[in-house]
Amino acid sequence: MKNFLDQDFLLNTPTAQRLYHEYAAHQPIIDYHCHLPPDQIADDVNFENITRIWLYGDHYKWRAMRANGVNEAFITGNKTDQEKFIKWAETVPYTLRNPLYHWTHLELQRYFGISELLSPASAQKIYAECNEKLRSPEFSVRNILKSKNVEVVGTTDDPLDNLAHHQKLKQDNYSVKILPAYRPDKAMNADDVAGLNKYIDQLEAVANVSISNIDEYLSALKARHDYFAENGCKLSDHGLEQIYAEDYTDVEIASIFNKIRNNEVLLPLEILKFKSAMLYQFAVWDHEKGWVQQFHLGALRNNNARALANLGPDTGWDSIGDFTQGRALSKFFNRLDTTNQLAKTIIYNLNPADNELFATMVGNYNDGSVAGKMQFGSAWWFLDQKDGMIKQMNALSNMGLLSRLVGMLTDSRSFMSFPRHEYFRRLLCNLLGDDIENGELPNDIAWTGKIVSDICYFNAKNYFDF
């Protein structure tokens, strides 16, 4: 029987162990998409206690605590940080076979050197030990990133952001590159006309222009796109239910924008046309600048109306959606490809039923200009666990080239999520190691090891050109 979380965790064969320890473990981390707050990095924050760095904003843990019968006061409510940590410690033993059990103990080991299992019996001791370390200079957020061998962090930023924190980090010559990503979803959200109008008003103030028609709106957004590029941005990102690719005319979009500015109710088809026009324009700008565009597709958000009213969005009430993806993806990419304006692209699915669809869709638009130009992105959100990662890698292996994958990303708001890269790397090495041990791949460790190193680091380094 193997020991829990030993050095060969998830590595079931000698070949897998060799691939991981010799070719994967030491590779730097390029975390090209996450939601880390750049202000905390710029200010080099030391967290007061482990609850603040570990539980605040972590929807995964919140959902598990709710499922375990924990009152909301101990999750997002007004209980003390210590009380919240104790409730999490009470929940952890019940998370067996949930990835949170692995992640929790990986993070305690990798950050704090704590191998003891978290439980009600160990909670007070672990809380005190972690808190003492967190207050030391070695555990400032900048030092945490460096200690985890992080080379690049890609944050997620609204076009309205002034990027002052990114500028400060560059001025400080911080060794880890913290780069913004342009996420203009609010700028196309015609589902909420009042909210979109408020956003346009804010854009007027930021861009110091007047916006009364669609051309002025696009010009202001393009100026923000340019501003992001000037500040090191090389990626865009969208978090959408599905791609929008309705047919439209410029005259129609101009009329729809006028209705928006007049706070008129839009027809459902008008909403789809407006979203389609905006999404296309963003994609054209991305291609002009040589950026990578990312599309995170398939989340059904804010399902619990009562919780949304009480706590607001992004508090853990989202799920996998069953949206139709194929035809719109094809139509959207085909329009851009026809005029040679399709940027390097990563698509991520949240519904595992779409694995093969996404893996085959990217193959339609690889044109030989860049290795792996079109990427079926790593398992995301509910799927970034053992089963989800393996299924994503198997689908990509069967339908495309796993060898050209640009690796893992945390998509996290937590500075303690970087062991997810290790988790992915171990699973990758175990997958390839099993095939070698079974005679399904040749016993060529040097070549397979190169592929492992590429997936863990070098593919992303070359693809994004950071």
Nearest of 186, 201, 188, 194 to residue 260 by alpha carbon: 194
Nearest of 19, 68, 60 to residue 384 by alpha carbon: 60
User: 452: pLDDT confidence band, cut at 50, 70 and 90?
Assistant: very high
Q: Where are the beta strands (DSSP E) in 241-305?
A: 292-297, 299-300
Q: Are residues 353 and 442 in the same domain?
A: yes
Q: List the helix and strand counts (H, then E) for the chain.
A: 20, 10
Q: Write the DSSP string, 97-121.
A: TSHHHHHHHHHHHHHH---SPPSTT
| pLDDT tens-digit readout, 308-333 | 999 999 899 999 999 999 999 999 99
On whether residue 2 sits in a domain, the answer given is no
Nearest of 150, 137, 119, 59 to residue 413 by alpha carbon: 59
Q: What is the tally of structural domains in the chain? A: 2
As a whole number, the mean pLDDT across the chain is: 97
Q: Are residues 385 and 291 in the same domain?
A: yes
Q: Are residues 28 and 114 in the same domain?
A: no
pLDDT-wise least confident of 45-49, 56-60, 107-111: 56-60
Strand partners, 347: 295, 376
CATH code for the domain in which residue 69 is found? 1.10.2020.10
pTM (predicted TM-score): 0.97
Q: Tell me which residue range forms the domain holding 291.
A: 14-44+156-464
Q: Are residues 203 and 242 in the same domain?
A: yes
User: 346: pLDDT confidence band, cut at 50, 70 and 90?
Assistant: very high
On whether residue 67 sits in a domain, the answer given is yes
| pLDDT tens-digit readout, 261-306 | 999 999 999 999 999 999 999 999 999 999 999 999 999 999 999 9
